């Protein structure tokens, strides 16, 4: 389903890899790729209902990985798991923008305190580990210059995005002050197999896919003209692995996003075409309008230049692959 050829990735043979949130969307796809590349993988996840994890995401590799069922808020458990790891991928967190506005303290507790637990565990017990942190484009807020790059000012509009900006700064502080070998990779509107498709809390694209799979109405707020940058999950996974193996990534922040932007309405139309459902436009709900960032046009120039990464999958191919994954497994995700 790739345009041209898939990203060439370095071997992880003999590497011990820990993935927080490894039962979630990005984490489970990352776990699978790490296994394929020869790594010994430990998935750390508590299957919190507000995090989007799903045990079915790793059903086909369950016997090839170690699963630690615990919470990143449990510092002692985090410390035990971090010891001896060569690479720590931090994918865990509360990722719902609306939920973060309803329950800001819980979001801080998981995203901020949980990230500090991991960083401090590495500092104390495994200072030589490579630490790769998943960031988000929404920590930018509204676009002040076009395109958005890694030096763009940050004025986030919701608590989740604010906390992701804060945790990114934690990572960079530990990299600078404690010589932790750390990198941040920011994503935008990731879609693909093993995503959370049941509610809109975890991103509009995957929710639209879920509606399409059920042949339901796909609701677009307003005129749907605001631009978004999408990235297929396999491309995100390749960026994380490249970041974990490159000397050029140390202490750096990258946007790993697609080359082109699409209007939300056009994304919805593509989902109707390749997945199913029917398009319907409605007025903006007040709670969503308050945290809407408008156009988001993001540059991937830095990661292309320093890591040699580039997106390989277009929207249509990614949607077809996503439908093929979910169609026989829909009962496990709805």
Could you report the per-residue pLDDT of 20-76, keeping only the tens digit for each? 999 999 999 999 999 999 999 999 999 987 788 899 999 989 999 999 999 999 999
pLDDT at 225: 83
Listed as ranges, residues in the chain with pLDDT below 70 are 1-6, 284-285, 287-293
pLDDT of residue 269: 93
Q: What is the number of other CB atoms lying within 10 angstroms of the CB of residue 272?
A: 18
**What is the C-alpha to C-alpha distance for residues 12 and 35, in angstroms, rounded to an integer?**
8
Taking alpha carbons only, the member of 121, 135, 94 closest to residue 18 is: 121
The domain ranges of the chain are: 16-332
- The CATH number of the structural domain formed by 16-332 is 3.40.50.720
CA distances from 305 to 10, 116, 248, 251 (A): 17, 30, 10, 16
pLDDT of residue 1: 41
Packing angle between helix 264-274 and helix 315-326, nearest 10 degrees? 50
Q: Give the separation between CA 311 and CA 316, rounded to whole angstroms.
A: 14
The β-bridge partners of 131 are 88, 182
Confidence at residue 234, expressed as pLDDT on a 0 to 100 scale: 97
């Amino acid at each position: 389903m790739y345009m041209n050829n898939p990203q060439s990735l370095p071997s992880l043979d003999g590497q011990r890899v820990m993935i927080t949130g490894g039962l979630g969307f990005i984490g489970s796809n990352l776990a699978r790729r790490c296994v394929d590349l020869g790594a010994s993988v430990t998935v750390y996840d508590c299957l919190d209902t507000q995090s989007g994890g799903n045990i079915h995401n790793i059903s086909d590799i369950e016997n090839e990985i170690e699963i630690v069922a615990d919470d990143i808020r449990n510092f002692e458990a985090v410390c035990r798991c971090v010891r001896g790891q060569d690479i720590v991928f931090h994918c865990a967190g509360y990722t719902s923008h609306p939920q973060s506005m309803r329950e800001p303290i819980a979001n801080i507790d998981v995203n901020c305190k949980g990230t500090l637990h991991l960083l401090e565990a590495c500092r104390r017990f495994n200072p030589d580990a490579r630490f790769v942190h998943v960031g988000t484009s929404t920590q930018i807020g509204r676009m002040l210059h076009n395109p958005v790059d890694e030096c763009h000012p940050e004025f986030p509009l919701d608590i989740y995005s604010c906390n992701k900006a804060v945790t990114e700064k934690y990572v960079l502080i530990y990299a600078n002050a404690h010589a932790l070998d750390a990198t941040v990779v920011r994503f935008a509107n990731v879609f693909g197999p093993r995503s959370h498709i049941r509610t809109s809390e975890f991103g509009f694209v995957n929710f639209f896919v879920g509606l399409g799979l059920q042949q339901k109405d796909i609701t677009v707020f307003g005129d749907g003209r605001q631009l978004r940058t999408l990235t297929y999950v396999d491309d995100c996974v390749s960026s994380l692995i490249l970041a974990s193996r490159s000397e050029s990534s140390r202490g750096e922040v990258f946007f790993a996003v697609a080359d082109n932007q699409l209007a939300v309405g056009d994304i919805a139309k593509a989902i109707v075409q390749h997945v199913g459902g029917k398009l319907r436009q409605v007025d903006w709900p007040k709670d969503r309008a308050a945290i809407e960032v408008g156009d988001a046009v993001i540059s991937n120039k830095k990661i292309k230049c320093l890591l040699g990464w580039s997106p390989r999958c277009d929207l249509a191919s990614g949607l077809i692959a996503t439908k093929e994954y979910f169609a026989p497994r829909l009962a496990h995700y709805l």
